[in-house]
Chains A and B, each alone.
Chain A
Amino acid sequence: MNQAAESIPPVPGRSAGSRATPVGDTFFHGLTAVAAVLVLAIIAGIAVSLILGSAPALAEFGPGFLVSDVWNPVTNNFGAYVAIFGTLVTSAIAMVIAVPVSFGVALFISELAPAWLKRPISVAIELLAAVPSIIYGMWGLFVLAPVMADTIQPWLKTIFGDIPLLGVLVQGPPIGIGVFTAGVILAIMVIPFIASVMRDTFEVVPKVLKESAYATGATTWEVVRHIVLPYTRTGVVGGIMLGLGRALGETMAVTFVIGNSHNIHAGLFHPGNSIAATLANEFTEATGEIYTSALLALGLILFGITLIVLIAARLLLMRLQAGEGR
C-alpha cells in the first residue's frame, strides 16, 4: 500500500528476548482485533440469519421459488421471479444510462475541466450520492413521474413505437410510474458512484504515458481511447460493477415509483416490482410464517446477487491497485 507499511517495526513484545508485553498492550491489541473480527461476524451473521429465516419458504417451494411468477399472500403461494426480473431490468436500464454519462463526467473532470473547476464539479457530483434514497423516491413520484407521463414517455412511444423489438420495450400505459422511471432514477443515483471510481482510476495513469502520446500529436480523445482506457480497463469495469451493486439493492427510490405490481410485462412503461421494493412494502404487513419466510428468501437472493457483483467489482479494483505506482 505505501512504503510506511514496509518500514514499520515489529509489534513490541513479539520479538524474541524482549520483555513481557504490558497488560495495556495486550488489552488494546485484543480490543481492536475483536472490533476487526466483528466486521466478519456481521457479514456471517447476515448470511446465517437470512438462510435460517428463509429455510421454511425454500423447503416449501424448493428451487421452483426462483422461477415461479406467483405471488399470492392469500393462498400462501410465493415465487421470486417477478421481483428478481424487476430488480435486474431496472438495474439494466440504470446501467445503460449511467455508464456512458459517468464516463463522460469522469472524462470531463480528469481531462477537460480547468483546474479551478475540477473540485467544485466533483463535489457537486458526489453530493448527488449523498442525497438520501427516499428523497429521490419522493421527487421521482411527484416531480419526475408527471414529466415522464406527459412528455418523455409519449415522445419515446412516437419515436420507437413502430420499430420492431424496440417498439415492444416502450409498450405500456404512459402513466409515469413503472419499471422505466425506476431505472431512470436509479441511473441518476449511481452516476456519482461510477463517475468517482472512473475518475480515480483515470488518475492512476502515469503522466509520462499521456504526455508522450500528446507529444506525438494525439488529440485528447485519442489519448483517452488508446492510452487511458486500455490502462484502466479493469478499474473502469470494477467501477461499473460497484454502481450495479448499488442499483440492485436500492430500495426507497424504487419503492416510490415502480408501481408495486406483481406482474411481468415486456413493455418497460408497465408497473412492476423489485426485490427491495417488495420487502419495503410488504415485510411489516406479512402475516404467517411462510409469507415472512418468503420475503426473507427474497432478501437472501438480493444479498447473494449483490455479494457476487461486489466481490467481482472488488477483485477488479484490487487488481488495478496492485499495478498502481509501479
Chain B
Amino acid sequence: MIDLYTRRRWTNRLTMGAAALATLFGLFWLAWLLFTLCVNGIGHLSWSVFSQPTPSPKGEGGLYNAIIGSLIVTGLGTAIGAPIGILAGTYLAEYGRDSRLAAVVRFFNDVLLAAPSIVLGLFIYQLVVVQIGHFAAFAGGVALALIVIPVTLRLTENMMRLVPDRMREAAAALGVPRWKVITHIVYRAAKAGIATGVLLGVARIAGETAPLLFTALNNRFTSYDLWSPIANLPIMIFRFALSPYEGWNQLAWVGAFLITFAILGLNIFTRVVLRHSASE
C-alpha cells in the first residue's frame, strides 16, 4: 500500500509527463512534414522552376504558369475580400458595437470562418461558373475572397476595439465628422493590426485547393485572362502528385515546398508584426 502523498506525487508526474509527451507528439509531425518537404523539394529547385511553364508528362519544365496563376488568384481573392472584411469589421467596431445586428454578424462570421472551403467552392460554382458558362480565374478569386472576409473582419474589429475611445472623443471634440475620425484616426492607430489580418487572410488562401477545383480549375499554359481557367500551385500539386509520371511528382514536391515555406514565412512574419505593434 503506497501512502497518499507518494500516490499523488506519482499521479502528478505521470499526467505532466503525458502532457509533455503530447506536445512532443504534436511538434514531431511538424518536424517530419517540414523535413520531408525540404528533402524532396530543395534538390529540384532551379531557375527553370520559376521561368518555364508546366511540362507535358515526359518533357522538361517548371512552375511559371502555376506560380503566376496562384499570385493572380490569391491577389484577386485578397483584393475582393480584404476591403469587405475591413469595412464590415469597421461597422462592428464603430457603429454596430453592442447592437443585435452586430452580434448576429459576428456569429455568422465565425460560421463562415469555419465553413468547409469545398462548400464555398460549390457556392461560387453555382453563383459564378454556371452563370458565365465556364471555369474562370475570376471565380477562383471570388471563392478565395469568401475565406479572406471572415479572417480580416475578425482581426479588424479586434484591432479597432483596442484603439482607446479617448482618441475618438478628442478628434470628435474638434468637430471632425465621425467617418473622418474612423478613417484618419482609428484606421491609422489600428494599421498594423489590420495589415496583419489581411496577411493572415493571404496565408489562409495561398494554399487553398478545394474551392479552386470548381472555380479556377487549371490551365497547362500561362494565362493572364481573368475570364478563363488559370493554372495555380495547389491544383497543380493535386494533379501532379497523383500522376504516374516521376517528373510531375517531383514538380509537385517543389511546388509543395515553395508554397508551404511561403505560407509559414508569412505566418511568422505577421506574428512578429502583430507582437511588435501590440507592444507599442
Contact = CB atoms under 8 A, between A and B. Distances in A.
Interface of A: 1-2, 4-5, 7-9, 11-13, 22, 24-25, 27-29, 31-40, 42-43, 45-46, 49-50, 52-53, 100-105, 107-109, 111-113, 121, 123-128, 130-139, 141-143, 188, 191-192, 195, 219-222, 224, 242, 245-246, 248-252, 256, 276, 279-280, 283-284, 296, 299, 302-303, 306-307, 310-311, 314
How many chain B residues sit at the interface, stated as a range, is 35 or more
A299 B178 contact: no
A219 B150 contact: no
Interface of B: 8-9, 11-12, 15-16, 18-23, 25-27, 29-30, 32-33, 36-37, 83-85, 87-88, 90-92, 94-98, 101-102, 104-105, 107-112, 114-120, 122-123, 125-127, 146, 149-150, 153, 161, 164-165, 168-169, 172, 177-180, 182-183, 203, 206-210, 213-214, 217, 234, 237-238, 241-242, 252-253, 256, 259-260, 263-264, 267-268, 271
Q: Max chain B CB contacts within 10 Å: which of A104, A191, A249, A296?
A: A104
Given A24-B177, A108-B20, A192-B26, A306 B12 contact: no
Nearest to B101: A36
Contact of A284 (B83, B118, B161, B213): B213
Contacts of B108: 39-40, 43
A128 B30 contact: yes
- Per CB-CB distance, the 6 closest pairs between chain A and chain B, nearest first, are A249-B116, A104-B22, A132-B207, A28-B179, A35-B87, A32-B91
Contacts of A46: 115, 119-120, 123
Contacts of A132: 206-209, 234, 259-260, 263
B114 A310 contact: yes
A100 B21 CA distance: 11
A314 B106 CA distance: 11
B23 A104 contact: yes
A24 B183 CA distance: 11
> Which of the listed residues A102, A121, A139 has the most CB atoms from chain B within 10 Å of its own CB?
A139
A42 B12 contact: no
A39 B92 CA distance: 12
Contacts of A242: 114
Contact of A105 (B26, B96, B118): B26
Contacts of A12: 172, 177-178
Contact of A299 (B9, B119, B172): B119
Contacts of A307: 111, 115
B95 A42 contact: no
Contacts of B208: 132-133
Contacts of A131: 30, 33, 207, 260, 263-264
Interface on chain A toward B: helix, strand, loop, or mixed SS? helix
A283 B211 CA distance: 12
Contacts of B260: 131-132, 135
Contacts of B95: 11, 29, 32-33
Nearest to B179: A28
A101 B25 contact: yes
Given A130-B203, A249-B119, A302-B119, A43 B161 contact: no
A111 B16 CA distance: 9
Nearest to B183: A28
Contact of A276 (B26, B125, B126, B210): B210
A25 B177 contact: yes
B241 A141 contact: yes
